[in-house]
Amino acid sequence: MGQEAERRRLAAQAQSVATVLLALGIFALDVLSPLQGAVAVLYTTVVLLATRAHSRELTLSAGFVCALLAVAGYFISHDGEALGSPAVRLAVSLVAIAITTLVSVRHQVAAEHRRLADQRYRAIFNAAGFPIWEGDWSQAFALLQGGRTPDAEAIDLAARTATICDANNAAAALFGLTRREELVGGTLLPFHTPAAEATLGRILAAMIAGETEIEEETRFVTAQGEPVDVLLRVTLPPQRKEWKQVLVMALDVTERNQTNARLAQAQAQLTHVSRITTLGQLAASIAHEVNQPLSALITYAKSGKRWLAREAPDAAEVSDCLDHVVSNGTRAADVIARIRALARRADPRQDAIDLGSLVAETVELLRRDLNTHDVTVAVTIPDELPPLVGDRVQMQQVLMNLMLNAEQAMAQVTPDARVLHVDVVSESGGVAVHVRDSGGGIAVEPESLFSPFFTTKADGMGMGLSICRSIIESHGGTLGAANHPEGGAVFSFRLPVAGQLESAA
């Protein structure tokens, strides 16, 4: 920076010396030359040379000094002579010097105004908090002149040749760059997406139609590959022909679009909640209606068993079938009762739970469905488990949900590889149950599986795991998921022993 200033200072000094020497040379020529022409008119070159210093004071001083030299030269050469042609030539020279000086000063004033205006424009341009850049689209204009419709070739040419002449720091930041110099001299092609190509085609078509202000929303990618949504305003400044200067302003609307997307998702979830609420009300009504025939079914099965014991005591298989009817009917009635209790917002029951027998019973309940889908079940239950307290029906609901999810997760693997592991482990202060499948594992963030309405199934509602976690947490436990090192996914829930749960309460 210091060398540049020194270079300019030396150039100004050399120019000043040249101006003085030129003025002295013209003065000598005017005084000593026998020519009868208006030699003093040459002083206008001195004024024009002084104008290059871009100083009004210097230009006015040069004009004044040249006029004095012209008058001095006249008196030296024609002192005592009568007024005649030399005086006329002097007058012509003075007029020429005056006009040249005034015109030069006027041009300097206009240039100063333009310079100040350009400085203000550049200051606003660079200080603006939103991205702005200027581009030269003249090559695209040359291709499209005559009203040619912008086809793929024209769009590609515009993308490759629309050079960025200037840009501010906000524009650089928009595209993930640190300095605006990284944009200047290049094109936006590295940041284009298919959406940006389509937008460019619409902008070109509008410019061909004579529009000077165009607004379009599109998407670019940053230098880091991240998508960024922008609202573009393309402007052709007045008197700027052939698209040599195209001003582009941008507004980053990525956050706005993401917020709108989240709002739309929330509205969809709210609508889903409304449907689920309606289904819940319907389920409560159905539960009330089904409870009566279930009670009758259990009563008839018990009566049939008593009749069988009296009339045909040796029919053991029929008696066993009636026992199953009573058992499963009672279980169904318990589920119905739980549904009605949920509808009434009743608290979960707190009964003693033998987790080992509950796991074995749940496996037997699902045995037929698991066999149908060629799923082999491997159950590990220790001989002694600490006592648990909770709602048995809800615990069975959790187990069934996790086991059915595991079965569905193995639908794409070969039948001989479909193994469902259910391991009950006694831990310090509680009991853990691990349900592991041999499927493809969890492809998303495991924690997201427990978000309401999140599902990886085409026909799923996304409520099962969320409800399971709520049940486990209401019993003082935890429920989580992870990928197993040997393949597949494992869902684990842990429950505190009865004494710890009561002390925590």
Domain boundaries in the chain? 2-127, 132-252, 259-343, 351-504
Task: Note the CATH architecture for domain 351-504.
Answer: 2-Layer Sandwich (3.30)
Q: For 185-252, give the DSSP string.
A: TS-SGGG--HHHHHHHHHHHHHHHTT-SEEEEEEEEE-TTS-EEEEEEEEE--TT-GGGS-EEEEEEE
Burial class (CB in 10 A: 0-12, 13-18, 19+), 297: middle
Question: What pLDDT does residue 218 have?
Answer: 95
pTM across the whole model: 0.49
Among candidates 389, 404, 399, 394, which has minimal Cα distance to 334?
A: 394
Per residue of the chain (505 residues), give pLDDT as tens.
Answer: 456 667 777 777 777 788 788 888 888 877 776 665 567 788 888 888 888 877 788 888 888 888 888 888 878 877 766 667 778 888 888 888 899 889 988 888 888 877 776 767 666 677 777 899 999 998 888 888 766 778 888 888 888 889 999 999 899 999 999 998 999 999 999 999 999 999 999 999 899 888 999 999 999 999 999 999 999 999 998 766 789 889 999 999 999 999 988 888 777 766 666 666 666 667 767 776 777 787 888 887 788 878 877 777 777 777 778 788 888 778 777 767 766 655 555 566 778 888 888 888 888 878 888 888 888 999 998 888 888 888 887 888 889 889 988 898 888 888 888 999 999 988 887 899 999 998 888 888 878 788 776 666 655 556 678 888 888 888 888 999 999 888 899 999 998 887 554 444 4
CA–CA gap between residue 255 and residue 233 (Å, rounded): 19
Secondary structure class of 480 (helix, strand, coil): strand
Contacting residues for 482 by C-beta, under 8 A, at least 6 apart:
442, 446, 489, 490, 492
**Angle at the Cα of 491 (from 405 to 409), degrees rounded to 5?**
30
**Angle at the Cα of 156 (from 154 to 162), degrees rounded to 5?**
90
CATH number of 132-252: 3.30.450.20
Do 250 and 174 touch, CB atoms closer than 8 A? yes
CA–CA gap between residue 26 and residue 31 (Å, rounded): 9
CA–CA gap between residue 333 and residue 320 (Å, rounded): 20
Question: What pLDDT does residue 350 have?
Answer: 79
Task: Note the CATH architecture for domain 259-343.
Answer: Orthogonal Bundle (1.10)
Torsion angle of alpha carbons 107, 108, 110, 111, nearest 10°? 110
Q: Which two tokens stand for residue 376?
A: 């082999």
